[in-house]
Amino acid sequence: MRIARRTLLGALAGTAALGAMGSPPAGADPGPTPVGPTPAPGGGPTPVGPAPGPGSAAVPPAAPPHGAAGAAARLLPRHSGQLAFRTVARRDGRDAFRVSGGDGALLVEGTTPAVQLTGLHWYLRHVAHAHFSWAGAQTALPDRLPGVRTPLARTANVPHRFALNDTNDGYTGPYRGWDYWEHEIDVLALHGYNEVLVYTGADTVYHRTFAELGYSEDELNRWIPGPAHQPWWLVANLSSVGGPVWRELLARRADLARRIVARLRELGMTPVLPGYFGTVPPGFAERHRGARTVPQGDWGGFRRPDWLDPRTDAFARVAETFYRVQEELYGPSTMYKMDLLHEGGTPGDVPVGEAARAVERALRTARPDAVWAVLGWQNNPRRELLAAVDRSRMLVLDGLSDRYAKITDREADFNGTPYAFGTIFNFGGHTAIGANTRDWAELYHRWRTKPRSALRGIALMPEAADNNPAAMALFSDLPWTDGPPQLRTWFAQWPLQRYGTDDAHAAAAWDVLRRTAYGTSRSDGWSEPADSLFGARPDLATTRAAAWSPLRVRYDTQEFEKALTELLAAAPALHGRPAYRYDLLDVTRQAVANRARLLLPRIKAAHDARDRPRFRALTRQWFAWTDLLEAAVATDERHLLGRWIADARAWGTTDAERARLAQDALSLLTVWGPKPSADGGRLHDYANREWSGLVGGLYRLRWQTYFSALETSLATGRRPKAIDWYALEDRWLHTLPSLAIRPKGDIVAIARTVAGKLRQRT
């Protein structure tokens, strides 16, 4: 370590010019920030050894590294001493990075610590053949990091690089702690993001705001949903679901939020906080003179909270309190997310334009220079809103850029408002592989470079993070790529970055995936892959599990299976690498899921022909595939329902609290909410996913119950009894057995078994 550090410092001392990046500007950091011990006076490394003896001058302990250096120490502890970071000025107002240096002594320059991490990751991928993602990493690096012959330099082509969906806190992990968020923030910075949506801790802001305005603690605890359901409360779709919450829970979430926003600021990233647009607890108008509320009706079977007319003095008072409390808790931001009348909200007799001006006025009073971020989704933002506000200080996060072919002119659609090219590729957090990468490659560059383009950013908004790592990486590259990405080249390089070695079979596997799961297009009106029939409420004619998922697989499934064959043929040296094992699981899981769509119509045909022996044989095959799927997903901690439940229970201090939190988290993935929403609102199984404990638990139980009823009907000639699926699911939720919280099994062996069965085309 000392030798590497001396080499590094010597190399930096001899750096006379910064090439394309220019010399350090006035106001920039005076020099690089090496990771590791603080240098002693005179430039040498701080001695490592026992504390000074009596009479010696005390040497204070070195402060832990922060910013990009701190992230490097977390991510690459064995190599962090070979890295130094320097902050430089923006180039024409744009973020940029540059990586230079020889073996074991690298200098990473960038306009913010986060951009420096983006540069580090660009170097790791393109030179060192290493990679971080939110699902697997490759860090098998040589002892000395390879040098850079020609400095790597990139400039961002857009200023806004926004990450996370409103639903993320629910579908990704409402009960994750700091260890998770620390790594998540690092990964987002490595991929070039500079704006991150932070909903954690908003519950405390609302609680304190309305406590000041006369509501009791008990009233507010019952109004605020449990953490898993809070994202939909924050967009005014529902309230009082999954709770009540309590003081200690809110305090812990507020502490976590403080750490999240502090780390984002440390890295030079913007925490995007919720703004106030009018959500109030029940009975607000009756308690406050001059207040006027508009009932919002239902959303998915849930009663929506009332909307406070923004034109009133009462709204201004609430907004002032909200922003003051939020700043006291988490500090100010420069971007706030607000969606008026989201997904079916009604303005009543309130003019939308006037309401929008009042909401904007409240924001500007509290945060004069802030950007108002709004989701582009369905008819949001409304044209009346855009016509009424200062569009130059607004950013539309377009959730439909890669969904509908009819979308061709966002400048006209958004009235010239700056917008971010966005993607949502896994509704509900489905585990399916795939994305419309052809659209990203073709549309982003064309829309950005056309005359009078208003495209100013990207918005990575999967409804749940932490899966589909190839989609994340490719989409994240768009702002740092000159011209449209060449997909054939990108996917050829990806396995080398992902696994750290140039393997012909791995490359062939990813070429198959490029042409199949990642080769879909918005021409069919979808931005996400089809979900799994194993997770559907049983019906012989069903074609999807969630009510709003595609009806069919959007690529050739037989061609897709070749990817599994090629991955299994890759060199055995890859088998122990986390990224390879994750991808092998993902492809295995998807191949099994696709097989259900081939098998279910055959089961239906046997049933309709009243062929009991064939019906019985085919349903046995169904459960054999179910068991293989359960075994596959049990090999990875991120696919364990037991881990999800344990995370939730850890936030409680009593048995009652732990049970309540587990039900909040578990219901979101299954029934979603009470029966009116689960059935009437068609939200049940919206967040279906192929996880151990779901596949072998609820999903297997439902299909077993259904097939048994059909077989009895074939034997007796009587119609099968109707099954109350919600009642069955609710019983399962409340009598859940103990589930594994640690992975088990060998995915390589299981994948070989699956590949062998796939070759037996029955």
CA of 755: how far to CAs of 563, 584, 587, 747, in Å?
A: 10, 11, 11, 12
Task: Note every long-range contact of 501-505, with CB atoms under 8 Å and residues 24 or more positions apart, other chains counting.
Answer: 501/129, 501/571, 501/573, 501/574, 503/570, 503/571, 503/574, 505/566, 505/567, 505/569, 505/570, 505/571
Q: Would you call 77 exposed, middle or buried from its count of C-beta atoms within 10 A (0-12, 13-18, 19+)?
A: exposed
Whether the Cβ atoms of residue 530 and residue 435 lie closer than 8 Å to each other = no
Residue 737 confidence class, pLDDT cut points 50, 70, 90: confident
Whether the Cβ atoms of residue 46 and residue 52 lie closer than 8 Å to each other = no
What is the DSSP code (8-state) at residue 640? B
Residue 679 confidence class, pLDDT cut points 50, 70, 90: confident
Instruction: Give CA 209 to chain center in angstroms.
Output: 29
Query: Are residues 592 and 455 part of one domain?
Result: no
The answer as to whether 440 is a domain residue is yes
DSSP 314-376: HHHHHHHHHHHHHHHHH---SEEE--TTTTT---TTS-HHHHHHHHHHHHHHH-TT-EEEEEE
**Phi-psi category of residue 675: left, alpha or beta, with phi > 0 → left and psi -120 to 50 → alpha:** alpha
The enclosing H or E element of 101 equals: strand 96-102
Instruction: Give CA 309 to chain center in angstroms.
Output: 33
What are the b/e assignments for 603-634, b being 16+ CB within 10 Å?
Answer: bbebbeeeeeeebeebbeebeebbebbbbbbb
Tell me: pLDDT of 756 over 60: yes
CA of 89: how far to CAs of 34, 109, 156, in Å?
A: 19, 10, 13
Rounded average pLDDT over 613-632? 98
- Residue 281, preceding bond cis, omega within 30 degrees? no
DSSP 667-725: HHHTT-SSHIIIIIT--TTTT----BTIIIIIIHHHHHHHHHHHHHHHHH-SPPPP--H
Q: What share of the chain is helix, strand, coil (3-state, %, to 5)?
A: 50, 10, 40
Token pair of 134 as six digits: 């939110």
Percentage with pLDDT > 90 across the chain: 89
**Domain end: 463, 485, 507, which one?**
485
Whether the Cβ atoms of residue 414 and residue 386 lie closer than 8 Å to each other = yes
pTM over 0.95? The answer is no
Please report, as a single letter, which amino acid is at residue 286.
E
Tell me: pLDDT of 27 over 60: no
Q: How many domains does the chain divide into?
A: 4
- Residue 39, preceding bond cis, omega within 30 degrees? no
Tell me: pLDDT of 717 over 70: yes
pLDDT of amino acid 63:
78
Query: Are residues 257 and 165 part of one domain?
Result: yes
Token pair of 417 as six digits: 């408002």
Nearest to 82 by CA among 183, 187, 189, 6: 6
pLDDT in tens, 564-608: 999 999 999 999 999 999 999 999 999 999 999 999 999 999 999
pLDDT of amino acid 585:
98
Please give the Cα distance from 665 to 672 (Å, whole number).
Answer: 9
The enclosing H or E element of 132 equals: strand 131-132
The answer as to whether 277 is a domain residue is yes
What is the DSSP code (8-state) at residue 126? I
Query: Are residues 201 and 83 part of one domain?
Result: no
**Domain end: 485, 504, 538, which one?**
485
pLDDT of amino acid 1:
31
Please report, as a single letter, which amino acid is at residue 436.
N
The answer as to whether 531 is a domain residue is no
pLDDT of amino acid 227:
98
Contacts of 656 (CB under 8 A, 6+ apart): none
Q: Could you identify the residue written with the tokens 């799994």?
A: 532
Please give the Cα distance from 528 to 375 (Å, whole number).
Answer: 18
Query: Are residues 759 and 713 part of one domain?
Result: no
Token pair of 512 as six digits: 């198959």
The answer as to whether 56 is a domain residue is no
Rounded average pLDDT over 192-209? 98
Contacts of 470 (CB under 8 A, 6+ apart): 435, 491, 494, 498, 510, 513, 518
Contacts of 700 (CB under 8 A, 6+ apart): 623, 626, 630
Domain that holds residue 714: 637-742
Please give the Cα distance from 602 to 737 (Å, whole number).
Answer: 33
pLDDT in tens, 629-675: 999 999 999 999 999 999 999 999 999 999 999 999 999 999 999 98
| Beta-sheet strands, E only, within 516-595 | none
DSSP-based three-state secondary structure for 568: helix
Query: Are residues 580 and 460 part of one domain?
Result: no
Please report, as a single letter, which amino acid is at residue 756.
G
Max alpha carbon distance in the chain (Å)?
97
Tell me: pLDDT of 760 over 80: yes
Tell me: pLDDT of 52 over 80: no
Tell me: pLDDT of 53 over 90: no
Contacts of 142 (CB under 8 A, 6+ apart): none
Q: Would you call 747 exposed, middle or buried from its count of C-beta atoms within 10 A (0-12, 13-18, 19+)?
A: buried
Tell me: pLDDT of 751 over 50: yes
What are the b/e assignments for 35-62, b being 16+ CB within 10 Å?
Answer: bbbeeeeeeebbeeeeeeeeeeeeeeee
Please give the Cα distance from 137 to 120 (Å, whole number).
Answer: 15
pLDDT of amino acid 677:
79
Mean pLDDT of the chain: 92
Percentage with pLDDT > 70 across the chain: 92
Query: Are residues 710 and 584 part of one domain?
Result: no
Query: Are residues 166 and 109 part of one domain?
Result: no
pLDDT in tens, 339-385: 999 998 999 999 999 999 999 999 999 999 999 999 999 989 999 99
Query: Are residues 378 and 239 part of one domain?
Result: yes
The answer as to whether 438 is a domain residue is yes
Token pair of 20 as six digits: 């394309």
Query: Are residues 328 and 458 part of one domain?
Result: yes
Nearest to 500 by CA among 32, 50, 132: 132
Please give the Cα distance from 634 to 641 (Å, whole number).
Answer: 9
Query: Are residues 589 and 503 part of one domain?
Result: yes
Please give the Cα distance from 250 to 246 (Å, whole number).
Answer: 6
pLDDT of amino acid 41:
28
Strands 270-274 and 195-197: parallel
Q: How many residues does the chain have?
A: 762
Whether the Cβ atoms of residue 391 and residue 381 lie closer than 8 Å to each other = no
Please give the Cα distance from 177 to 111 (Å, whole number).
Answer: 29
DSSP-based three-state secondary structure for 452: coil
How many CA atoms within 13 Å lie on the side-chain side of 55?
0
pLDDT in tens, 413-445: 999 999 999 999 999 999 999 999 999 999 999
Query: Are residues 465 and 394 part of one domain?
Result: yes
The answer as to whether 19 is a domain residue is yes
The answer as to whether 543 is a domain residue is no
pLDDT in tens, 30-46: 344 444 333 332 333 22
Contacts of 639 (CB under 8 A, 6+ apart): 431, 585, 589, 633, 690, 691, 692
Tell me: pLDDT of 484 over 80: yes
For residue 380, what is the domain's CATH number? Answer: 3.20.20.80
The answer as to whether 137 is a domain residue is yes
For residue 501, what is the domain's CATH number? Answer: 1.20.120.670
Whether the Cβ atoms of residue 91 and residue 46 lie closer than 8 Å to each other = no
Please report, as a single letter, which amino acid is at residue 473.
A
Residue with more model confidence, 688 or 61: 688
Query: Are residues 334 and 192 part of one domain?
Result: yes
Tell me: pLDDT of 335 over 50: yes
Strands 306-308 and 293-294: antiparallel
Residue 761 confidence class, pLDDT cut points 50, 70, 90: low
Residue 60 confidence class, pLDDT cut points 50, 70, 90: low
- Phi, psi dihedral angles at 568 (to 5 degrees): -70, -25
Token pair of 71 as six digits: 């992230």
Tell me: pLDDT of 25 over 50: no
- Phi, psi dihedral angles at 676 (to 5 degrees): -55, -35
Please report, as a single letter, which amino acid is at residue 193.
Y
pLDDT in tens, 277-315: 999 999 999 999 999 999 999 999 999 999 999 999 999
pLDDT of amino acid 402:
97
Contacts of 738 (CB under 8 A, 6+ apart): 642
Q: What's the Rg (C-alpha) of the chain?
A: 27
For residue 11, what is the domain's CATH number? Answer: 3.30.379.10
